[in-house]
Amino acid sequence: MIPYKAPLRDMRFLLNEVLDFPAHYAALPSGHDADADTVNAILEGAAQLCEDVLAPLNQSGDLEGCHFNQGVVTTPKGFKEAYQQFQAGGWQSISFPAEFGGQGLPASLNLFKSEMMGTANWSFSMYPGLSMGCINTLLRYGTAAQKQQYLPKLISGEWSGTMCLTEPQCGTDLAQITTKAVPQADGSYALTGTKIYISAGEHDLTDNIVHIVLARLPDAPAGTRGISLFVVPKFNVDNEGVMADRNTVQCGSIEHKMGIRASATAVLHFDAAKAYLIFEENRGLEAMFTFMNTARIGTAVQGVCHAEAAFQGALPYALERRSMRALSGKKEPEHKADALIWHPDVRRMLLTQKAIAEGGRHMVYDALKIADHMFHASTVGDEASYKQHDTELGFFTPILKGFLTELGLEAANLGIQIFGGHGYIQANGMEQNVRDARIATLYEGTTGIQALDLLGRKVLLGSKGQCVRDFTGKMLQFARPNLLQGGVKGAMARTLAWKAAEWNWMTLAIMLRAPKDRELVGSASVDYMMYSGYVMMAYSWAQQAAKATDLLASQQGAESADFYRAKIQTAEFYFARLLPRAQTHRKAALASTRSVMQMDKDHFAFS
């Protein structure tokens, strides 16, 4: 079992010293109540819940898994009691409007809590986590009646929510959806079909589960243009928001999975279930992306969570486990062998985990400032501001989701490697962390789908490269004052300036070649996304190193000198050892498509 300690010092460093969240909250209408005392109370309260309640259930929940019996799903021992504590603490309501029972605080505060929950127990965090997108979709697109019926109990945590997209014959290709919704005389719809891989689709933690479901109307156009969005509760709800009779939604089974075993992944059968249209007919995908963007940011956090868990598990082991002598001579002569921490390759692995976790945390937190503005604009109905911030966040989303989940999985694998054979067995929790991390690169869009979204939709078609120019402009603005300086700040500034130019040159090269080579975007996209992620993380580490350097030079940083030195040294490691990977991805992204496409499909089987 991996013991969990919330990384509050690092979180506060980012919030208060690097990203200046106090000023950010002061400028937000929804942030007036997010003063220092309130933020600290939320961080500390969430840390206590995660350390004392959720983390102890992580391994036992994995070992027991969920139970299925004739449509009834029971979560592992302790989960129901933990959820009751979660609900009683008001943790679901942090960032939602007061008119529906929420606390009206900025959305980012909820994600800070979610990060801690996810590191402590990712399986548990998925139950309330899936409700977030359901709530956000209803807030933005639901009718006044739907909001009154569902939101108060979803926001209180008394009910939970899901999203139901995937069907047996289709995953990412939603154009193949066949679930039907037939209009009824009372204004409702009779929805029939089967949905698979529905996280938290059935469980015993809440009395009701509100499903957001994609389906087709009888006369809908073919393809994605003919998809509508519906709300389908497990138990029907009257106009006052009170549960009534059971709807015709049944859980046919739950999946037996590689990881996140304590999270119920359900097959749901809708048999003329009573459903209600959300938004407009045939515009379901547009509304659904509110849900998907929320989910993708949440999954990006998962990459940070598994990197943090791997580091927290591996570091104590490396400090205590002894094997051989350090190459430079005895470090602990009082013992028969030196601790693993003295071996350079073990340090490389630990620093990789640390760099991924702390660099990824900064990347997510930086993006959350945009999300705060977007959610506020949505709440007050400012469509122009909403679209502006949604577009800006849309550039971050595929990089955060695709890049950070891939690196989170790498960090989890390094955890096993540091433990050696002891990491491969169940008792130490490292193999569970890898199994749990593996799904993050798959759901809410695989790494390849995120990469296509970034390069194809966001960079080439959506903005003609403007989103890259905007972001690299920020990099240059940060780097420019330090270009002629010596030391760490100057060296990193010069590297950032070069990477900013290089990222734009690579984008332009692909943009010029793509019209003549229809397969180029598909062959280049993953390498392009990984390059983008490494450069974006370099920018994150440069900001942290610069702030730590400044604080060390002042009396203000005296009490945390060791912390700041560790920040600078981790940043130096990132620039020296991890950022060079970007060059390989750049070369691969610009390589000829022929290397990928020339082999005849029948020749793949030759051995």
The C-alpha atoms of residue 534 and residue 581 are separated, in whole angstroms, by: 8
User: Is residue 293 pLDDT above 70, yes or no?
Assistant: no
Which segment of 273-287, 372-386, 442-456, 494-508 scores lowest on mean pLDDT? Answer: 372-386
The C-alpha atoms of residue 115 and residue 120 are separated, in whole angstroms, by: 9
Q: Which of 600, 10, 601 is nearest to 304 (CA)?
A: 10
Are 21 and 108 in contact, with CB atoms under 8 Å apart? yes
Is the backbone of residue 487 left (phi > 0), alpha (psi -120 to 50) or beta? left
Is the backbone of residue 76 left (phi > 0), alpha (psi -120 to 50) or beta? beta
Q: What percent of the chain has pLDDT over 90?
A: 90
**287-451: CATH architecture:** Up-down Bundle (1.20)
Helix 284-320 × helix 122-141 angle, to 10° = 160
User: Is residue 225 pLDDT above 70, yes or no?
Assistant: yes
pTM: 0.96
State the number of CA atoms in the 13 A half-sphere of 247 facing the CB: 28
Can you say whether the dihedral through the CA atoms of 92, 97, 102, 103 is positive or negative? positive
> Per-residue confidence at 171, pLDDT binned at 50, 70, 90?
confident
Q: What is the pLDDT of residue 172?
A: 83
Q: Which of 492, 450, 431 is nearest to 300 (CA)?
A: 450
Q: What is the pLDDT of residue 291?
A: 58
Q: Which residues pair with 170 in a beta bridge?
A: 167
The C-alpha atoms of residue 88 and residue 80 are separated, in whole angstroms, by: 12
Please state the φ and ψ torsions of residue 237, each to the nearest 5 degrees: -125, 135
User: Is residue 264 pLDDT above 80, yes or no?
Assistant: yes
State the number of CA atoms in the 13 A half-sphere of 148 facing the CB: 6
Residue 444: active-site member: yes
> Per-residue confidence at 30, pLDDT binned at 50, 70, 90?
confident
What contacts 580, CB < 8 A, 6 or more positions away?
none
Are 275 and 181 in contact, with CB atoms under 8 Å apart? yes
User: Is residue 555 pLDDT above 80, yes or no?
Assistant: no
- The DSSP call for residue 161 is E
Rg of the Cα atoms in the chain: 24
> Per-residue confidence at 2, pLDDT binned at 50, 70, 90?
confident
> Encoding tokens for residue 551?
């604080």
Helix 122-141 × helix 344-380 angle, to 10° = 20
Q: What percent of the chain has pLDDT over 70?
A: 99
β-pairing, 249-254 with 265-278? antiparallel
CA angle 469, 471, 476 (to 5 degrees): 85
> Per-residue confidence at 288, pLDDT binned at 50, 70, 90?
confident
Kindly write down the DSSP assignment for every residue of 315-344, as one continuous string.
HHHHHH-B-S--TTS-S-TTSSS-BGGGSH
> Encoding tokens for residue 407?
């690196």
Average pLDDT score over the chain: 95
pLDDT digits (tens, 9 = 90+) for 95-133: 999 999 999 999 999 999 999 999 999 999 999 999 999
What contacts 520, CB < 8 A, 6 or more positions away?
510, 513, 514, 593
Please state the φ and ψ torsions of residue 582, each to the nearest 5 degrees: -60, -35
pLDDT digits (tens, 9 = 90+) for 4-13: 999 999 999 9
Kindly write down the DSSP assignment for every residue of 363-374, as one continuous string.
HHHHHHHHHHHH
Q: Which of 338, 318, 209, 220 is nearest to 277 (CA)?
A: 220
Q: Which residues pair with 277 in a beta bridge?
A: 230
The C-alpha atoms of residue 140 and residue 287 are separated, in whole angstroms, by: 8
Q: Which of 115, 167, 410, 444 is catalytic?
A: 444
> Encoding tokens for residue 116?
């801690």
Are 343 and 328 in contact, with CB atoms under 8 Å apart? no
Neighbours of 256 (CB within 10 A): 10
> Per-residue confidence at 289, pLDDT binned at 50, 70, 90?
confident
pLDDT digits (tens, 9 = 90+) for 359-409: 999 999 999 999 999 988 888 888 899 889 989 999 999 999 999 999 999
Please state the φ and ψ torsions of residue 534, each to the nearest 5 degrees: -65, -40
Q: What is the pLDDT of residue 607?
A: 67
Number of H helices, E strands in the chain: 20, 11
Is the backbone of residue 480 left (phi > 0), alpha (psi -120 to 50) or beta? alpha
> Encoding tokens for residue 272?
């003329």
Widest distance between CA atoms in the chain: 84
Q: What is the pLDDT of residue 47?
A: 98
> Encoding tokens for residue 334?
């009082």
Which segment of 29-33, 74-78, 274-278 scores lowest on mean pLDDT? Answer: 29-33
The C-alpha atoms of residue 10 and residue 506 are separated, in whole angstroms, by: 34
Q: What is the pLDDT of residue 1?
A: 80
pLDDT digits (tens, 9 = 90+) for 497-533: 999 999 999 999 999 999 999 999 999 999 999 999 9
Q: Which residue has the tokens 């997108």?
A: 133
Per-residue pLDDT averaged across 437-461, rounded? 95
Can you say whether the dihedral through the CA atoms of 64, 68, 69, 73 is positive or negative? positive
Q: Which of 446, 440, 447, 420 is nearest to 431 (CA)?
A: 420
Neighbours of 290 (CB within 10 A): 21
Q: Which residue has the tokens 């006369």?
A: 219
Q: Which residue has the tokens 């393809």?
A: 223
Q: Which residues pair with 182 in a beta bridge?
A: 190
Per-residue pLDDT averaged across 438-459, rounded? 95
Are 179 and 216 in contact, with CB atoms under 8 Å apart? yes
Per-residue pLDDT averaged across 36-60, rounded? 98
The C-alpha atoms of residue 455 and residue 459 are separated, in whole angstroms, by: 5
User: Is residue 561 pLDDT above 70, yes or no?
Assistant: yes
Q: What is the pLDDT of residue 75?
A: 98
Ordered by start, the domain boundaries in the chain are: 287-451, 453-596
Q: H or E stretch including 136?
A: helix 122-141
Q: What is the pLDDT of residue 294?
A: 65
Please state the φ and ψ torsions of residue 61, each to the nearest 5 degrees: -65, -40
